[in-house]
Amino acid sequence: MSHAAFITCDSGFWEKLDGFYDIGKFTLIPCKFLEKSQQTGRSYFVLKFNFKGDFDSDNLGNWAVNLGKAIEEAKIFTAWMSTITRRYLDLTHTDLGVGQEFGPSHILKPSETIDESILEKVFHIGSDKKTGVFYSIDRPNYSSLAFKEFPHSLNLPLDVKEYTDKLYSLPKRERDKFIDACFSYQFSRQNSPRLPSVSLVALVNCVEIMMRDEVTSGYCKNAKKRCPLKKDVIVKFRRFFEDNLSYPLPPEKKRFLDDCYRSRSNFVHRALLGDGPLRGPKYLSLGRDDKVSNQLYELETLVNAGLIEWLSKI
C-alpha cells in the first residue's frame, strides 16, 4: 500500500526555499518564517514523498516500522540534497539536554486519505503555491560559493533532477558508497563553523569512502618490493581528484591535498579538535590565523566538485 510521508527539514536561516520543488518522487514545500526560526537560526521546509508501507493506525508496531522506513528515505535524500546544494540541510530535530532529542515533525497516512489542508495547521505551510526556480551553474564548480548571485536562499541547481535520477538508478554497491560519502559531506557542512577540524576529517573521509574499493601497487620504495602492509592511502586520496577533476594534478593542488591529509592524520591520531591556541570548539576565534578553516573552505570545493563529477561519469 502506498503511503504519503510529510517530514520537516532544516536549512540555514538565510537559506529558505523560494517555492515548491518537485524532484523525482520528492516534493520540497517551504514553511513560513515563525518565531522559532529566529530562536533556532533555521529555516524550515517539508519533504513530501510516497513510500510503500503497512499502515494500521491501531497497530503501534506497524506505525513504528513505517516511520522508520520514511525517516530512512528522508535522511538519505536530505544528505544528497546537502551535497548537491553545498548547504547545511538536515531533518528537523531538537536537543534538550543529554539524551533528549525530538523530531522531526511528521505525518504518515495512506495516500488516498491524505488531506493536505492539515499541512497549514501542522507545518505552517503558506498558501502561495509558487514554483521554485532552478539555477544554472557550471560543472565542475570551483567557486567557494556556488550561487553568488543568490546567496540568501536555498538555491537548487538546474541539474539536480538529472543527478538525482542518476543516483537512484545506480547499482546498489555504487549507490550505497556514494550515499555514505554524502552523509560524511553533510556532517562536514553541519559542523564547519564550530568544529572545523572535525569537518576537515569528514571531508577527507568522503574521499576515503569513494576510494575504499580501489587498490594500489603496494610497492614500498624503501624495501624495493611489494609490502602487504602498505596501503598507499595518500596515493588513493590524490587519485580521486586525478580521476575526477584533473590529471595530472597541478603541483600546488598536490601540495595542498598532501597538507590536508597530514592535517587529517594529526587530528585523528593526535588531537581531534586541534592543538595550540585554537584547540577545541571555535566560538569567537575571529582575527586569528586559522589554517584549518582556510584549508576547509578550499577542500570542500574540491571534494564537492569531485563527488558530482564522479556521479556524472559513472
What string of H, E and C letters represents the secondary structure of the chain?
CEEEEEEEEEEECCCCCCCEEEECCEEEEEECCCHHHHHHCEEEEEEEEEEECCCCCCCHHHHHHHHHHHHHHHHHHHHHHHHHHCCCEEECCEECCCCCEECCCEEEEEHHHCCCCHHHHHHCECCCCCECCEECCCCCCCCCCCCCCCCCCCCEECCHHHHHHHHHHCCHHHHHHHHHHHHHHHHHHHHCCCCHHHHHHHHHHHHHHHCCCCCCCCEECCCCEECCCCCCHHHHHHHHHHHHCCCCCCHHHHHHHHHHHHHHHHHHHCCCCCCHHHCCCCCCCCCCCCHHHHHHHHHHHHHHHHHHHHHHHC
* pLDDT, position 199: 95
Classify residue 156: in a domain, yes or no.
no
Whether residues 12 and 120 share a domain: the answer is: yes
- Same-domain status, 105 and 232: no
Q: What is the pLDDT of residue 230?
A: 47
* Structural domain count, the chain: 2
In a structure prediction context, what are the per-residue pLDDT tens digits for the chain, which is 314 residues long? 678 899 999 998 888 888 999 999 999 999 887 777 666 778 889 999 998 876 565 565 677 888 889 999 999 999 999 999 999 999 988 765 655 566 688 888 776 666 777 777 778 887 778 899 999 888 888 876 655 555 567 889 999 999 999 999 999 999 999 999 999 999 999 999 889 999 999 999 999 999 998 876 555 565 566 655 445 788 899 999 999 998 888 899 999 999 999 999 999 998 888 887 778 888 765 555 578 888 999 999 999 999 999 999 99
Q: Could you report the per-residue pLDDT of 131-176, keeping only the tens digit for each?
A: 999 998 888 888 766 555 555 678 899 999 999 999 999 999 999 9
Domain identity same for 6 and 132: yes
**Domain check: are 78 and 205 in the same one?**
no
Task: For residue 278, tell me if it sits in a domain.
Answer: yes
User: pLDDT tens-digit profile of 43-52?
Assistant: 889 999 998 8
Instruction: Give the rounded percent of residues in the chain with a pLDDT score beyond 70.
Output: 81
Residue type, 153: S
Single pTM value for the model: 0.88
pLDDT of residue 31: 87
User: What local confidence, expressed as pLDDT, does residue 304 receive?
Assistant: 96
Task: Give the pLDDT confidence of 212-226 residue by residue, as tens digits.
Answer: 988 765 555 655 666
User: Do both 202 and 293 map to the same domain?
Assistant: yes
Structural domain boundaries enclosing 33: 2-144
Same domain membership, residue 11 and residue 127: yes
